[in-house]
Amino acid sequence: MKQKSLATDLAYVAVFTALVIVLAFVSIPIGTAGVPIVMQNAALILAGLVLGGRRGLYVGLLFLVLGLALPVLAGGGTTLRALAGPTAGYIIGYVLSPAIAGLIAYRAPRKKAGIAITFIIAAFVGLAVQYICGSFGLMVRSGLELAPAFAAQVPFLLPDSAKIVVAIIIALGVHAAFPDLISRKRKTA
């Protein structure tokens, strides 16, 4: 049974990593720091909400590792190039956010209202992790002070919030259709 679980985990991680990479083709460049609005950040949080913290972390790590040599980012960039630029912090946030969102989401109570509230909290905490990491990356790579680095997130608040709401709705739908995703992990975690 353990082998089947490993194969299932690998399949889930591969599918969500592929989804994140495909969504690189959806981006809108804005702001002076050169950081675009992308769908990838919401897909990574969705991975955490659907798969949980451990598998969400694996999605973020696989995305990072594949991106060292392959153009997995918006505009055809690699994560290696991004780590050397102003978006370095966001790449770190991409690894951490699905893990943190997933850890919170998989602590949801079994009642529907409790699951929805927990997923909302989990998703927005995941987004906050991306913003915090991104802000520190801007401070280190662009020489911005703390306040301007955090202010650079403002243009993203509304579009990212809308994307996160969609991710929450999708995750709730997936868990309603496949309730075993959470309950199975609770038994083995």
CATH number of residue 172's parent domain: 1.10.1760.20
The yes-or-no verdict on residue 128 having pLDDT over 80 is yes
Considering all CA atoms of the chain, what is the largest pairwise distance in Å, rounded to the nearest integer?
A: 52
pLDDT digits (tens, 9 = 90+) for 50-89: 999 999 999 999 999 999 999 999 888 899 999 999 889 9
What domain count does the chain have? 1
Predicted local distance difference test score (pLDDT) of residue 35: 62
Give pTM, 2 decimals: 0.90
Measured CA to CA, the distance from residue 175 to residue 173 in angstroms comes to 5
Predicted local distance difference test score (pLDDT) of residue 111: 80
Indicate the residue type of 172: L
Q: Which residue range(s) make up the domain with 58?
A: 2-188
pLDDT digits (tens, 9 = 90+) for 142-165: 999 999 999 999 989 999 999 999
